[in-house]
Each structure stands twice: as structure tokens, then as C-alpha cells.
Structure 1
Amino acid sequence: MPTDRSIVLFDLFGVIARHQRPGALRKMAARCHASTDAFTTAYWACRPPYDAGRQSAPEYWTAVLRRLSLPADADTIEELRLADIDSWSRVDDAMVGYVRSLREVTEVALLSNIPSDHADAFLAAQPWLYDLDHVAFSGKIKAAKPDPAAFQHCVAALRAAPTAFLFVDDREENVRAAQAVGMNGHVFTDRDELTAVIDTWLPTRRRMRT
């Protein structure tokens, strides 16, 4: 594999997209007549296999409702599924513009922990994602960060050495996992800091080609 390529590999939520809409879990809990704390605990405790593509949306929501000792009827499941997708639908327009501009100077890819049905909705609402060099959604590739398999998928899909990547995520554990497979990593805090990091990293990659 060539070692002189440069690929900025972005996380989605907390970097390009916003975190979950404030109050969303409270509203979903109210729909179920459950306490917000109990609903939130069940929502996240059941999430890993859904994110990693090992459960469908109905299977996930059935698990959540059963953990709350609530009936899992089809109408409730669909209402919760759609509310959940909507709660994760916001993007940071400034970051979207920055990511798109980077394609003039480097390859750009995406690796996100997101269930398969959420991914379909996000792609439909954000067609600019199709312009990236590769998009990997955990629910589609059957591996979620920080599982090394998620990063190895991107290495194989882009046919690049791990050292060709700069992985950007707002969670340190995911950045450490990327570094463990040989990628460069940056913990995202804001766009200005990221711009400085990339502006420093790209010339380093270019010097490798001379």
C-alpha cells in the first residue's frame, strides 16, 4: 500500500453533526410513560448491538421497552424510531463547509457509529456525504468504534496504509483506538484548533512525496 497518501477520517456526531437534540430522551420517555432516567439508562444500555448492525430497529426498541417492563407494540416502536432519528439529524453547517473544502487538498472520509436505518435517513438528508471518498457507518459495516475492525474497514476500503490517516473524533477513547491500529489521531474540540492541526499535518504528508 502507498504510504504517502493523506486521508482525513472524520467522526460524525460531535464533530460534523450535532449531538442528540436536547430534551429528546425526555420526550421519548414521556411517550412511554417512563421516567427520563430509567428511559435514558435503557436507551444507552441496549444501544451497542444496534449501533454495530447486530440488531434491527424493532429488535433494539423491543429490548429497550422490555427493559422498562413496557409492551413493545409496533406503533410505539415506530414512533420511537422516527423520534430517535430526528433527534440525531442536525449538522454544523460551518463544519460541513470546512469538510467539503478539504477535498480540494486531501482525501476525506467518514467513520460514524450510527445504526443502519439512521444512516439511510442521514444520507437522504445530507447528499454531500456522497461526495466524500468513503463513508463508513457502523450499522452498515457491522463494527462500531472503538472496535479495531471499524478502523480496519476504512484501511481496507481505501486501500491505504494506516499511517495515511488522520482520524478526528471528539471522544478520546476512539482516537486512542485509531492510534492503536497505526493511524494518526486528533481529539476534536473546535474547528479552529482542527484547522491548525490539519494545516500542519498535510505539509508533512506532502514532504513524504518529494
Structure 2
Amino acid sequence: MDAFLDYWFTSEHVIDAPLVAFIQQLRQQGVPCYLATQQEKYRTAYILEQMGFVREFDGMFSSAYLGTLKKDVAFFQQILAALPDLAPAEVLFWDDTPLNVAVARQAGIQAEVYTDFAHFQQTLLNYELSLNH
């Protein structure tokens, strides 16, 4: 079983380095950045510890501990409850699955589909421009 888990975890150990570096810039500017995942508890621990995301993000919201998946608005409601200083509209969520983005929007969260880093940067720039007007 350990060999299977090791294979599963390491085969999906892919880090988008430019995205993580950009997230560090956001954090240095005082923007809190969290992960939201549908992983089970062992994969959640692997992502945090072995991939180093415990240092790269302000925290992680995982289905393993929330007890629900991203396709359920309760997933996002629990995140909002854990971030009481933020209004839902102040949260910007990214996901590569359109259904998860739609559900986040049902919770009142601003949400976008992640396709690639260039699109992510451009979309963030558009958000910044709209906030400054």
C-alpha cells in the first residue's frame, strides 16, 4: 500500500513554479493566499509537507477536513466561515474545473477558471484595473 501511495503522490507532484512565485509576491503585499482541494487526508498532508506548500500558502482548505467537495456550496461556505474578516465578494477563487467555479460563485465568491499562468496574470490585472476605477 505504501508503494502505491508513494507512486500516486509523486506522479502528481507537479508544481507550477511561476504561479507559486507570483503567489509569494501577493503574500508579500499582504494578500492572504490559500489552497482549496478535494484531496483525502494523506494526499493533503503530502501537498503541504512534501511539496512544501505549508510554507508557500497561508493555509489549506481540504475536503478531507471540511467533509464536503467543491461541487457543494457548503465547501465554500465553510471557507468563508473560516475567514470572517473577508466578505465573500472580497475572495477570489481559481479552479481548473468550471463546475467548481460556478459553485463558488453561488456562494458569492468571485471565481475564475484557471487555464494557464498568462491568463491568470491578465485576469488579475483586469480585477486590479476595475478596483482602481
Shorter-chain TM band? 0.7 to 0.9
- SS across alignment from 1:153: helix
Distance 2:87 2:35 in 1: 16
- SS across alignment from 2:35: strand
| 2:43 pairs with one of 113, 118, 121 | 118
Question: What does the per-residue CA deviation read over 1:107-161, in whole Å, with 9 as the maximum and x for residues that have no partner?
Answer: 2121111111011112112334335233112112222211112111211111122
User: In structure 1, what residue type is equivalent to 2:102?
Assistant: R
CA pair 96-84 structure 1, distance change in 2 beyond 3 A = same
Distance 1:179 1:125 in 2: 31
Matches of residues 106-145 of structure 1 in structure 2 within 5 Å?
106-145=31-70
- 1:180 paired to 2:106: yes
Matches of residues 1-80 of structure 1 in structure 2 within 5 Å?
77-80=1-4
TM-score (structure 2 length as normaliser): 0.85
Structure with bigger gyration radius: 1
Offset at 1:82?
Answer: 2.2
> Aligned residue for 1:199?
125
Distance 1:108 1:196 in 2: 18
TM-score (structure 1 length as normaliser): 0.57
- SS across alignment from 1:182: coil
Aligned identity (percent) is 23
CA pair 123-133 structure 1, distance change in 2 beyond 3 A = closer
Distance 2:83 2:71 in 1: 19
> Aligned residue for 1:146?
71
Q: Which consecutive aligned stretches of 4+ in structure 1 deviate over 6 angstroms post-superposition?
A: none
- SS across alignment from 2:34: strand
> Aligned residue for 1:169?
95
User: Gaps spanning 5+ residues in structure 2: where?
Assistant: none
Question: What does the per-residue CA deviation read over 1:56-92, in whole Å, with 9 as the maximum and x for residues that have no partner?
Answer: xxxxxxxxxxxxxxxxxxxxx3332222222222212
Number of equivalent positions: 131
Matched-pair contact (CA < 8 Å) for 1:155–1:162: yes
> Aligned residue for 1:3?
none
Matched-pair contact (CA < 8 Å) for 1:110–1:134: yes
User: Gaps spanning 5+ residues in structure 1: where?
Assistant: 1-76
- SS across alignment from 2:28: coil
- SS across alignment from 1:107: coil
